[in-house]
Amino acid sequence: MHNSARLIFATQFYPPDPSTTAVYLGKIADTLAVDSQVVVISATPNSDLLRADPHSNPAVIEIKTWNPRKSALVQRAAAVCLLAARMFFSVLKRATSNDVVFCITTPFTLPYTVFLAAKLRGATTLLLIHDLYPEALEVAGLIQSKSFAARLIRFANTILFRGLDAIVVIGRDVPPLILKYPGVKPDKLHIIPNWPLIPIGYRKVEPSNRFRAPGASKFIVGLSGNLGFTHSPATVFEAAKLLQSERDIHFILSGWGVGWKDLNDLFAREKLTNVTILSPVPEDELIEFLSAADLWIIPYRRNVAGVSIPSRLYNLLAVGRPVVVASEANSEGALVLREQAIGWVVPPEDPVELARAIQEAARDRKATTEKGIRAADVAHKYREEAALALYRSVVSDVKHTRMGEP
């Protein structure tokens, strides 16, 4: 039975948007609707059509937004500011002192205006951090760490993090960065990892898998998903160049995002015979595609620990594949791989070390397969049900704390 406190969800992405962010948020909202009336304020086109019934829970209110292409940085900056302003007025119009306002750091401008609107209404506030700013902008090379923009964001973060009632982070590498801000108490932070979005279970490498053609017997190395500003696709390409003489190793690459433009440009200039670039794989073919490779790569730029979440890692574990993560040793992905002995961790932006790890995996296929079998077992630790139960617990705790209950 729902109590009188509503949960107001402020997010740019929500189903039917196909992004992993939208899928996760849709599941979180549906789960929290078990205990509360949930109102989702979404900037995803047609998201309100899924909840046309005004008595549905969650109820979805769609606000219009502008979506320029990702490479148009000036237009995108204007768009995220416009979205933040519209979300401010939407939350301000609807929130009350009884409500919990739940926001996510996508785009990075959103939490500041949503937090301000919630505080003006006296609502409880909860933030889900997927990417940490200004660090993500610094890693991407869009701003300098000592620039006015970076200092301004850090000043705003000090106010934001101190004033929030709860902060949810995805990995263990995030709290040390948050706790650098003065006045932020550790008990305000909650770690809730993401989970696989496909069924968990080891899949054997099948030579008949069509994504392995034409080198079905070769050792296949894969790269997939959204490559954003925090990723380094050039590192993978350079590693492939170093491994051209290894006739038994082949790369299959498929995905989207700004990083894939870089990859396609590199491939257009120098067509490597050991690399195949595919169009983005449809969702209904994802399991077959992820099962096609013997080894997967997640290539980050330098200084990414605590800055960008490793969402794709959980799907790779779910199909039973070992992973090479190129990142600092204290990143969440690196910690998981080393603790569970299910992959390799190499320095970021270091194609020589990446190539070395791939060679090691290819030369001992039996040991690599065993890592993959363990990876599928490890994936059970990141079950959807467990993560969603933690979200319910965090929201319940902030409600009770606000009401002065033990």
- Reported as a single tens digit per residue, the pLDDT across 93-122 is 999 999 999 999 988 999 999 999 999 999
Residues 132, 29 share a domain: yes
Q: Domain check: are 222 and 113 in the same one?
A: no
Q: Are residues 366 and 389 in the same domain?
A: no
Residue 204 placed within a domain: no
175/271 same-domain check: no
Do residues 164 and 223 share a domain? no
Taking 50 as the threshold, does the pLDDT of residue 375 lie above it?
A: yes
Question: 143: number of CA atoms within 13 Å, CB side?
Answer: 17
- What global pTM score does this model have? 0.91
Backbone phi, then psi, for 351, in 5-degree steps?
Answer: -65, -30
351-363 and 365-379 helices, crossing angle to 10°: 100
Q: Strands 295-299 and 275-278, how do they pair?
A: unpaired
Residue 205 resides in a domain: no
Eight-class DSSP state of 283: G
Residues 132, 265, single domain; the answer is no
Structural domain harbouring 296:
210-382
Instruction: Give the contacts of 93 (CB within 8 A, at least 6 positions apart).
Output: none
pLDDT digits (tens, 9 = 90+) for 350-359: 999 999 999 9
Answer whether residue 277 is part of any domain.
yes
Does the structure show a pLDDT above 70 at 279? yes
Residue identified by tokens 């609502």 is: 123
Amino acid, single-letter form, for residue 342: I
Residues 346 and 324 sit within 8 Å (Cβ to Cβ): yes
187 and 308 belong to one structural domain: no
Q: How large is the average pLDDT for residues 144-160?
A: 95
For residues 292 and 203, what is the distance between their CA atoms, to the nearest angstrom?
Answer: 9
Do residue 233 and residue 340 come from a single domain? yes
Residues 333 and 395 in one domain: no
C-alpha to C-alpha distance for 274 and 252, rounded to whole angstroms: 9
Q: Nearest Cα to 156, choosing from 122, 110, 118, 123?
A: 110
* Burial bucket for residue 370 (CB in 10 Å: 0-12, 13-18, 19+): middle
Domain-embedded: residue 202: no
212: DSSP letter: G
- Residue recorded with tokens 């006045």: 183
In a domain, residue 161? The reply is: yes
Q: Are 96 and 4 within 8 A, CB to CB?
A: no
Which of 212-226, 335-349, 385-399 is predicted with the least confidence, judged by mean pLDDT? 212-226
pLDDT at 88 over 90: yes
Total domain count, the chain: 2
**In this structure, are 274 and 295 located in the same domain?**
yes
Model confidence band, residue 72 (pLDDT cutoffs 50, 70, 90): low
Q: What does residue 225 show for φ and ψ, rounded to 5 degrees?
A: 95, -170
Structural domain contains residue 23: yes
- Tens digits of residue pLDDT in 160-195: 999 999 999 999 999 999 999 999 999 999 999 999
In a domain, 1, yes or no: no
Q: 241 with 146, same domain? A: no
Answer yes or no: is pLDDT of 34 > 80: yes
- The whole-angstrom distance between residue 138's C-alpha and the CA centroid of its chain comes to 18
Distance CA 59, CA 33 (A): 10
The separation between CA 388 and the C-alpha centre of its own chain, rounded to angstroms, equals: 16
Cβ atoms 174, 190 nearer than 8 A: no
Q: Is residue 132 part of a domain?
A: yes
Which CATH number do you get for residue 326? 3.40.50.2000
Q: Are residues 358 and 388 in the same domain?
A: no
